[in-house]
Structure 1
Amino acid sequence: MTQMIWQQYVYRRGNEVPELWDSLFKKRKPKLLYIAGQGFDVRVIKVMEKFLSTLDEVGIEVENAKLLLIEVNGYELSDELKKQTEENGKQLEALFSSIGSISRLPIGAPESSDDDEENDATATQILTAGVRSVIAQIDQYTDIILDVSSLPRVVYLSLLVGILGKLIPDKNKPDALYANGINFQVLVGEDPNLDGQIKSEDPSNEFINIPGFSSALNLESARDWPFVWFPVLGENRSGQLDKIISEKVQGNAEVCPVLPHPSKNPRRADSLILEYRETLFERMGVATTNVMYTHEAHPFETYRQMFKAMERYRISFQLLGGCRLVVTPLSSKLMTLGVGLACFNMKPQGQDENHVLAIPYSEPHRYSVTGAELKASKPEIFSLLLTGSAYEA
C-alpha cells in the first residue's frame, strides 16, 4: 500500500502566514532562494511585498538571499500584458535588491510546428532542462520559496515535483519530509475569480509532459491496463480539455471529473458542470456519480482526496495487472498544487509497481485578461510548508 507522506502538514492563510514566517526564520539567519515568475500577473508583487515587509517588521536578517526570476517566453500577449510583464519584472528586482541578488532564468514555451512528434519532444526537453537548472542551485540554501503566483501551470507544477524529488529521494523513509532540515515553502496569491477571468486560448498542437511523468502513456508493458482519467476542471479551458480527449483519452476510459466545492462562489461547481456538460457528460457519457468534489482553498484536502482515489483504483485493478492513471490539472492554483502533491506521492518508485502515472498538458499559446481585471484582484496569501525542520521526528 502506498504511504501518504503528508499525513500531517503545515498550511497557513491570510494573517496566519506572517506568523509562520516569524516562527520559521527567528533566531537564525537563513540562506534563502526565492523562485518567482516574471509574468503579467500582479499577484506576485503583492506576495513579495508582504514577505519582505514581514522580514523587516520582525527584524529577520538573512545570511544571503537570491531571487531566481523565471522568464517564460513564447506566449502571444496583448501590448498591455507585455507592458505589465516588463513592469512586474522591474518591480520584483527593485523589491528584492534590498536583501539579496537577482538572477534570471529563461524557460521557453513550445512554438507551433507542423512536426508534432518532434516539437513535443523539444518542448518537454526545454522544460526539463529549465527545471534541472533550478534544482542545481538549491543545495547551498537552507530555505527555498517557490512563489507560483505568476508562473504558468506547466512550469510551477514541474518545479514543484522536481524540487520535491530532489529533497525527498525516498518517500518511504519515516523522516522523508525532514529533508535534511531544508525548508521548502510554496507561496500563492490566490484569487479564483481572477483565475476564471484569465482566458487561455489556442492550445498547442503538441503535449508537454511534466518532467518525471513523461513515459507512462508510452510504456508497452502497460498498454492493455485500464485507463483512469482525472480532469481537474476550471473555467475557460474547453480547448485544452478537447485536445486531451481527442489525442490522449481512450474511449473506454474511466473518467472522474474533479470540481471545486466548497468554493467562495457557492455555484462554481454547478457552473463548471454546465460549461463541460456536452463534452464530458453527454458526449463521453461520464456518470455524475464519478464526480469528485474538493475544497477550493485547501490544497491538502485536494491532495488527500486525489491520492486516495488513485490508490483505490490502483488496488482495484491489481488483478488485471495494473492501471494507467492520467491527471489533467486545469483548475485554480491551490487545487492544482494539491493535485501536484498527490501525483508526486503516487509516482511509482520501482520497476515492479502495478501502476503508471502521466500528466500530459496542452499549453495555451495565448492568454488574455484586461489590466483592469488584474489590478482589481485582491488576492489572499497562502503558504504550504512541504519539508524542513517542522517535520523533524
Structure 2
Amino acid sequence: MTRLRRWDPCVAHRGGEVDSFLADYFAQEDRRILLLAGAGFDPRSRAVASRLSEVGASVRALFVQENRPNPPQGQVDRAGANTTALLAAVPEREIAPVEIFGPDGAVIGGRNIIGILNRQNHEGLTDIVVDVSALSVGTSFPIIRYFAERIGRGRGPANLHVFVAHDPRLDANIRSIPSDAPGYVHGFKGGSTLFAAAEAARLWLPQLASGRRGALGRLYDFVEPHDTCPILPFPASDPRLGDALAAEYITELESTWSVDTRNIVYADESDPVDLYRTILRLDDLRQPVFTETGGSMLVLSPLGSKVMALGALMAALERDLPVAHLEPIGYEMEGSIPAQIAEPNLVHIWLEGEVYPRPRSALLAEGKSAP
C-alpha cells in the first residue's frame, strides 16, 4: 500500500525560476535569514550568498570551512579567495572551521557541525537557507536534518530552504579521494544498527559516478547487500552519460554486484524530486513483500551529482533510511576548472515551512521503524 509522501507535491524551483523566487520572497522586509554555506575551493561557493546580497535580503551567514589533512596549495588559495568574497557579500557573518577527521582518523565532521549549530542563536529568524553546493554529504546532510527536526519540534525557524548549483560536469571534475573507513553519515544510520535489522533484506542504492569505483567497492563490502539497484542519471545533460557509466562499471554490474538490467534505477539528473519519488516507490513495493521474513531495508550511497544527492537526502529523511558513505580525505580537480561560476544553474527545494499545510507529520527519529 502506497504511503502518503511528505514532499508530494513539493515546492521547488529551477533555473530562472530561482532568481524570481529569490527576488520576490527573500527581499521581503519581514524575512530574517540564516545562511549556511561552504567556504571552500569549490567555484560554486559564492553562488547563493551573492544572490541573496544582490536582492537586499536581511542575512546572517555561517560559512563552513571543512578542514581535511594536507590540502593542495592551489585549493587553499581558491578557498581563501572564495572566503574573502563571501565575507564581503554578507557583513553579518561568522566563519566556522570544522575538522572532518579526528587525530585517530575517525570521521567527526558531522558531530562537529551539529555542536556548532547548537551554539547558534536562532531567535528572530524566519528562514534557514542551506547552500549545499560547496558542502560535502557528511556535513550537509546532518545540517539539514538538524533544522528539519527543529522545525518538527516547533522550535523554529519556520522555513527551511535548500539550494544547490547544478553542474554535473563540475561534479565529475572535482573527484574525491576516499578514506579507508566506510560508515554511516551522522544522523543517518536509520535502523541499520538495530538487532532487528540483521534479518532485513538489504537493498543497496548506489549513485554511480565516474571515477568512484574504488569507493563504491568499499561501500559494497561495508553494506553487504542482498541486492543492488544502481542509480544512473537519465535524462542527463550528457545523453551518453548513462551508457558511459554502465561501461565503466561493467565488471561490478555483471559480476561483483550481479545486477539484473531490470533493476537499474534511472532518475532525472536535474530534478531531485524525481529520485526522491523513485526511492520511495521502491520502498513501498518492497515493504509488503518482506514483511514476514524480517522486513526490507534500503541503504543509500549518494555520490557524484549534488542534485541527485539531494533527492536521496529527502528520501532518507522521510523514511529514516541509512546513508552509507565514504568520507573524502581530500579532492582532486581538473586545472581547467574556473575560479567561480558566473551564472550558476540553481535548484531550490523548500523543504519545510509555511508553504505546506498543517499539521505536518513529524520526521521519524533515527533508528525508529516506520509505521
- TM-score between both structures, scaled by the size of structure 2: 0.88
Unaligned runs of 5+ in 2: 359-371
Amino acid at match of 1:71: Q
C-alpha offsets along residues 113-164 of structure 1, whole Å, 9 cap, x if unaligned?
Answer: 5xxxxx54xx25x522422432553632111110111111221122122221
1:128 corresponding residue in structure 2: 111
Alignment counterpart, residue 385 of structure 1, candidates 350, 359, 368: 350
1:1-16, aligned counterparts within 5 Å?
Answer: 2-16=3-17
Letter paired with 1:8: P
Residue 332 of structure 2 aligns with an amino acid whose one-letter code is S
Q: In 2 relative to 1, CA 199–25 (structure 1 residues): closer, same or farther, beyond 3 Å?
A: closer
Please say if 1:212 is aligned against 2:184. no
Aligned to 2:36, what secondary structure does the other structure show?
A: strand
Residues 226-245 of structure 1: per-residue CA shift (max 9 Å, x gap): 11111111222112101112
| Amino acid in the other structure paired with 1:137 | Q
Instruction: Tell me what 1:372 maps to.
Output: 336
Give the distance between the partners of 1:261 and 1:165, measured in 2 at CA. 32
User: What is the root-mean-square deviation of aligned Cα atoms in Å?
Assistant: 2.3
Q: 2:87 aligns with which of 93, 98, 116?
A: 93
CA shift for structure 1 position 248? 2.5
- Residue in 2 aligned with 1:198? 174
Instruction: Give me the whole-angstrom Cα distance separating, in 1, the residues matched to 2:3 and 2:119.
Output: 29
Secondary structure, in 3 states, of the residue corresponding to 1:274? helix
Mark the CA change 1:266 to 1:255 in structure 2 (over 3 Å): closer, same or farther: same
Aligned equivalent of 1:176: none
Is the CA contact (8 Å cut-off) linking 1:108 and 1:127 kept in structure 2?
no
Structure 1 segments of 4+ aligned residues over 6 angstroms from their partners: none
- Find the aligned partners of 1:242 and 1:156 in 2 and give their Cα distance: 23
Which moved further from structure 2: 41-50 or 22-31?
22-31
For 1:214, give the aligned amino acid: K
SS at match of 2:336: helix
Q: Distance in 1 between matches of 2:44 and 2:324?
A: 27
Conserved? CA contact 2:184–2:325, under 8 Å:
yes
Q: Report the CA distance between 1:8 and its aligned residue.
A: 1.4
TM-score between both structures, scaled by the size of structure 1: 0.84
Aligned to 1:160: 144
**2:266 corresponds to 1:273:** no
Match of 1:30 in 2: 31
* Separation of aligned partners in 1, 2:229 and 2:328: 23
| Count of residues in Structure 1 that have an aligned counterpart in Structure 2 | 355
Q: CA deviation at 1:311?
A: 2.3
Aligned counterpart, 1:324: 297
Change (3 A) 1:197 1:68: same
The structure in which a higher percent of residues are helix is 1
Cα offset for 1:371? 4.5
The C-alpha deviation readout for 1:16-39, integer Å capped at 9, x for no partner, is 112212332355321110101111
Check 1:374–1:307 CA distance in 2 against 1; reply closer, same or farther (3 A cut): farther
1:291 and 2:264 aligned: yes
Structure 1 partner of 2:310: 337
Secondary structure of 2:274's aligned partner: helix
Q: Quick one: structure 1 residues 334 and 287, their matched pair in 2 at CA, closer, same or farther if it must change by over 3 Å? A: same
1:84 aligns with 2:78: yes
Distance 1:331 1:382 in 2: 16
Sequence identity, in percent?
A: 26
Quick check: 2:44–2:340 contact (8 Å CA) kept in 1? no
Q: Name the CA shift for 1:288/1:135 in 2 (closer, same or farther; >3 Å).
A: farther
